[in-house]
Chain A
Amino acid sequence: MNRPEAASVALNLKEIDRLIHEPARLLVLALLYVVESADFTFLMNQTGLTWGNLSAHMSKLEEAGYIQVEKSFKERKPYTLLRLTEDGRTAFRAYRLKVKQVLDDLPK
């Protein structure tokens, strides 16, 4: 890889959304991207994350405005429903494009 190519890869890497790039959050976002909505238990089972871990990632994604969290009670039990916001969907699409670009730019 020559210098300009390396610089281009480095620039693209810098532009990658680090909030999404974390593997656990990436998996949560990817799952929410392919479904309409899912509850906390479903995401826990699909991602293999613990309750605390998922809860922490969920808070970060909610703060960034990427996911919408609806808390309610179902048969007197707390129930948390998650769905991707339009911002989250756009950010995830942009992230995918950026990662693809970075991987494509790497020498074979």
Chain B
Amino acid sequence: MSEYLDLKDLERKAFRSTYQDGLLDICISSVVGSMALLMFIIVRDDNPWLYLVLAFLGICAGQLIFWAGKKFVTLPRMGQVKFGEIRRKRNKTLALILTVAVLVQVGIVLLTAGVWAIPAWGDKLQELFPDRSATDLLVAAVGALFVGPSMMAIAYFTDFSRGYYIALVMALGVFLMIWFWQPLIQVGAAFLILIPGLVLFARFLRQYPLIPAGE
């Protein structure tokens, strides 16, 4: 019977079909691009407010594209669906995991800053990581570990298969950006996420033409 009518698989396929428009990829790419702009604030001293405003605008643009795309493009073409209790439970679990992850990350950052501020401990850390490249490598690894697993958790709990690819690109982007002190690497990562999103969006428009009302 399970082969005859696999309800779990049917639900998963129906749920995954909501990602076919590529809008989530486009939205995530705007966040990744904005992360690069925030890094410019640290790397360049010239105009921090400009990068901050641009990063904010980038995130807002991504959210706006996602919202408007869903409302005016996806839903009229694909239709609307409300998923059941299983999805709500998974979303709650994801929210809980992400909250814990963010708290742990904030804790690590505060602890590191605190430890560094204590002269005795700061000296010990200085011994452990004598030159700047070793420190950068550690910070880059920690940064990648902040981003990658969180995105993987999102991908797992939302059945968003491309999320694993995005997690890898984001983690690699953050790692290389910090290690080489080069925000343009993260801009490249944003493009690597954006391009599949745009291709999927174009394919979605072809696959799902607008159905005239009452037809």
Contact = CB atoms under 8 A, between A and B. Distances in A.
A binds B: yes
Interface of A: 26, 30-31, 33-46, 51, 77-78, 81, 96, 99-100, 103
Given A45-B78, A46-B14, A36 B5 contact: no
A41 B79 contact: yes
Contacts of B208: 45
A35 B14 contact: yes
Contacts of B128: none
A43 B82 CA distance: 12
Contact of B81 (A37, A77, A96, A103): A37
Nearest to B77: A41
- Looking at A26, A34, A44, A81, which has the most chain B CB atoms within 10 Å of its CB? A34
Contact of A38 (B1, B5, B81): B81
Majority secondary structure of chain A interface residues (helix, strand, loop or mixed): helix
Given A31-B14, A33-B7, A45-B79, A78 B84 contact: no
Given A34-B7, A46-B14, A99-B4, A41 B211 contact: yes
Interface string B1-13: 1001101001100
Given A41-B78, A42-B79, A31 B1 contact: no
A39 B7 CA distance: 19
B214 A38 contact: no
Interface string B44-77: 0000000000000000000000000000000011
A35 B83 contact: yes
B84 A43 contact: no
Contacts of A77: 213
26 contacts: A26-B5, A30-B5, A30-B7, A33-B7, A34-B10, A35-B84, A37-B82, A38-B80, A38-B81, A39-B79, A39-B80, A39-B81, A41-B76, A41-B79, A41-B80, A42-B78, A42-B79, A43-B79, A44-B211, A46-B14, A46-B17, A78-B213, A99-B1, A99-B5, A103-B1, A103-B4
